[in-house]
Every structure is written in C-alpha cells, then in structure tokens.
Amino acid sequence: MNRPILSLLIALVVCVGSQAVPAAEAAPAPQAARAHNPLIWADVPDIAIIRVGKTYYMSSTTMHMSPGLPIMKSTDLVNWRMASYAYETLADNDAMRLDNGKDAYAAGSWAPSLRYHDGVFYASTFSYTSGRTHIYTTRDPERGPWKETSFEPVLHDHSLFFDDDGRVYMVYGGGRITLVELKPDLSGIKPGGVNKVLIENVNTIFGTDLGGLNGEGTHLSKINGRYYFFNIASPGSRWAPTVIVHRADRIDGPYEGRIVLDDRGIAQGGLIDTPDGKWYAYLFKGNGAVGRIPYLVPVTWRDGWPVFGKDGKVPMTLDIAAGAQGVSGASGIVASDEFNREPGDPALPLAWQWNHNPRPNDWSLTKRPGHLSLVTSRVVASLPEATNTLTQRTFGPASSATTSLDVSGMKDGDVAGLTVFQKLYGFVGVKMTDGVRSLVMVSADSDKPEEIASIPLKAKTVHLKVDSEFEPAPELARFSYSLDGKTWTPIGRPSRLTYSYPKHFMGYRYGLFFYSTKTAGGRVDFDYYRVVGM
C-alpha cells in the first residue's frame, strides 16, 4: 500500500509535498522544499487566522473539549504550533459536565473569530450550550491571562470587526447575514446602534437552485477601503460547499456577491496577507473520519475581486517554503507524553483536551509520578458518558497510538483503555467482571457498543495499541495488545471509522479512558502515551 510518509515523531501534523520542478519554472523556493495541501491532516475546522507583524495566529473549533478555543502560532502559514487556549472551561452546566443524562457532543463552542486591535488580542466564539456569545482578550496569547466577556444572544458564526472609526461590530447568521454594532466595551449589543440585515439569503447566489447548506461561517475583512465578507454555502442540487464573497464600499452595504471557489468542497474561511504582499485564503475540507482539515489557497485580485486558486482549482503544492515537517513536545498539535513532569512544567501538554469538563479530583500526575492516574467518582453505562477521558486528535493518512495501563486498582464493573473516539467509536481495554480481568475489544460502529473479543488477563499491566487508517478507503481502526511492549497481538476485528453528523461533528480522537459501571472508586495508571504517523 503506497502512502505518503508523515514525519512527525511526537509532533505537529503538517503534511508537506515534494515533487520535481522543471528547471525553467521560477519559484521562490525549490520545488522539493515547497509546502503542500492539506496544511494539517487532522481535525482543525472553522479556522480563523490573523497576522500581527510577521507572526500568524490561528484558532479553530473544538466544540465540547476542555480546554477550548485553541490558539496556534506560525511564522510561515504552514508550520503551526500550539500557543494556548482562550478558556479552560466554556461553562459549568449539566451538558458540559456530562451530568443528568446531558452532553455537549457536537455543541460546546463553534467557529471562532480572531482579531488584534490596539495591542489586544481578541478571540470570540458562541455557544448554544451556554446560550451566550463569548469574547476573550489578552495582551499575550501565549502566556495570558485571557479575560472573558459574554452576553446574550448567541450570534451564530460571527465575525468580530473593528472599523477604522473606532466602532466595533459583529456580522453573523445562517442564510440571513446581519450586522450588529457592539458596545465599546464589548459587553453586548449597543442599544440604538447599527442592526441591519446585509443579505437576506446568501444562497440566492445559486439562482433557483436553493436549499443545500445555508450561507454561514462569515469572515469580514476591510481591504483597500472596501468591505468583503465570505461565507460557505451550497446549492440544493448537490450540497457541494462553495465559497461566496460579498463586497461593498460601506460596512452596512449595499453588497454585491459572487462565487469565488467551487472545488472539492473546500470552503469556509477568509483572507490573510503576508508581509511581502501575497494573499491567501484559509479554508477547510471535510475529509471523512479524520475530520475537517485546513487548506491554504493562493489568491490574486482582479477588478477589486479576490480570485481563488489556479483556474478555479485549489493547488496541492504551494509557493511557500515547507520548513520543518513538525515540532515536538508540548507545542505540537499532537504530542506523545511520558507523563514525567519537572517542577514548573505545565500539568498537560497543549495537545491534550478533556472530553467535556474534567473532574479535577479524579485525575492526577502526582499520585504515582510518571503516570496519569484516573479514578472514578460515579457510575455510568458506557464510554460516551465517562468523565475525564483525555483526548488528542487522530491524523492522516494513517497514525498509531499506544499506551501502557496498570489495572491493579480496578473494581468490579470497571472498564479502562485506549479508544479511537467519535459517535461510532472503538476501543481496546480491560474489563473487570466478578473479580476477573479480561482484555476486550469493543466496537460501536453499528451504532451501539458490541464486545467483539474477550481474552482473560492475569497480568496487572498491559500495553494497548490502536492503528487508524484514513486513506485509502475503507477507513478503519485496528486494535492490538502486548504484555511486554514489544510483541503485539491483534484483538477483535477492524472497526469502521465513520464521521458522524450531526452527533459529535468532529474528527476521531484518540483517548485514554476509565469508567465504572457498578461501583465508583477504582483506579488505573497510564504509564505513557505515544503517537506516530504510519
């Protein structure tokens, strides 16, 4: 099977290409060192990018994960590293705590907006889980602190915008795009301020072919005195996402629009320029089970309109030096973790996110140094209800995650292990029933969890492995175990990986988990987490 090789070790997943260039073709960087789409072969959707001097900052949707609203940093638009999160927890309610049968799967926070104004960074988002629009501010996006302001109502898929005259706005909506003016302190919508529908229905750009995805995901820019906003939308006949742009000489219109990209469903985003005057669009593409992955598209200008790509297509090779293929450790979008901590180290590398709000008393890196210890404080029926599942992104075209698990502290009815997690999840782990421990492989790819294999386990420590294949089809996860960490034995069968919408609505995540189905209070210790490209 011929696959591109991703060299990321324990690192940021950046997919760069290398092809030969004819000697006569002039290029700023040699072809072998030019960057390649997709930029990141992992779930980094709904991206917003700003440039501050020579440095770029990017945020993305992570929905029900905590911490959330990630902030990433780059000097070349290609190689990104984690810088921080704008919030630790979005809200403290039943849905975010996985309490009382509620959850925030496919909810949480969506589609952030990033701005830099008068020395302050602004990261904003909205949430139907909290019922509010949230704005976070800091002068230092790497060290913080981030300060939160929030207000009602929810402004869907908004774009925060500071105009040259000092007034501040949000443009938002789905189908109908509306401009509202905010109070100067951003604490809410300004009474008596601008509140105007800019476009009654973005999809009228398709003529009579209405339906499909309503125009949303607004990104607003002011370029050479004109206002431009971009939306993702699709015609009713084929549901193929496209990029729509509207422009006007005044922020409140009137606006005229056109389709600027219709290629392979690559859409939703806005424009960014480089210090030397080049322009790019930042967009994403739904790429199956791995999620929605970022693309960078060259942009030129014609008659005051942005022209995306080359001959209407998104090029796979970019006129940007590839640089390093990734960076290791805590700054990576994905990162291995031996769970060893020196004084002053952060508790967890930024690659980690909890599935919903964590329970602080139920996890520790100090109870057993060099290990992640998880305990349970309640009883649940299945993995999606489990608290303190610690996750990272999967990535393509293929990747592998391994861990070592000490199960000596498990109680009857406990289940722990390594999962590849989405609505239709699978996992390899250990289950304790009537005082007997068993290695199990479970798949929910038929929309309900099914124990595919069970093997008695006498050892107190076992190594677990998940191999994920996202290309070529079919997308599959394969599971195995080892008693010595060297020789691996397959268990069960491959589990199909299927991107589920609207439930979950994000790419598969690797996760370390522990839950109790009978009696709370058990404990397991994870010795390491290691992730590699295959």
In tens, the pLDDT along 444-467 reads 999 999 999 999 999 999 999 999
pLDDT digits (tens, 9 = 90+) for 393-426: 999 999 999 999 999 999 999 999 999 999 999 9
pLDDT, residue 110, reads 97
Cα separation, 497 vs 290, whole angstroms? 9
pTM above 0.75, yes or no: yes
CA dihedral sign of residues 401, 362, 66, 507: positive
Q: H helices within 355-442, ranges in order?
A: none
Strands of 214-289, DSSP E: 216-223, 226-233, 242-248, 256-261, 267-273, 279-286
| Residues of the chain where predicted confidence (pLDDT) is lower than 70 | 1-32, 324-331
pLDDT, residue 501, reads 87
Locate 517 and state its tokens: 């189905």
Q: What is the DSSP letter of 98?
A: T
Yes or no: say if 407 and 416 are a contact pair by the CB < 8 Å rule.
yes
Cα separation, 241 vs 526, whole angstroms? 42
Question: Cα 62 to the chain's mean position, in Å?
Answer: 5
pLDDT, residue 324, reads 60
Q: What is the DSSP letter of 348?
A: S
User: Which residue, among 514, 414, 395, 419, has the nearest Cα to 39 in the 3D structure?
Assistant: 395
What is the per-residue burial (b if ≥16 Cβ within 10 Å, else e) of 378-402? eebeebbbbbbbbbbbbbbbbbbbb
CA dihedral sign of residues 395, 389, 351, 320: positive
Cα separation, 68 vs 85, whole angstroms? 6
Domains, the chain, ranges and CATH? 42-320 (2.115.10.20), 330-533 (2.60.120.200)
pLDDT, residue 97, reads 98
pLDDT, residue 534, reads 86
- Using DSSP's 3-state secondary structure scheme, residue 279 falls into strand
Locate 437 and state its tokens: 């421990």
Cα separation, 85 vs 467, whole angstroms? 28
pLDDT, residue 323, reads 73
If you count them, how many residues does the chain have?
534
Cα separation, 30 vs 476, whole angstroms? 36
**96 φ, ψ (degrees, to nearest 5):** -75, -20
Q: What is the DSSP letter of 183?
A: P
Locate 465 and state its tokens: 């492995």
Cα separation, 4 vs 533, whole angstroms? 10
Cα separation, 89 vs 93, whole angstroms? 10
pLDDT, residue 322, reads 85
Cα separation, 208 vs 483, whole angstroms? 63
Amino acid 171 reads V
Yes or no: say if 73 and 50 are a contact pair by the CB < 8 Å rule.
no
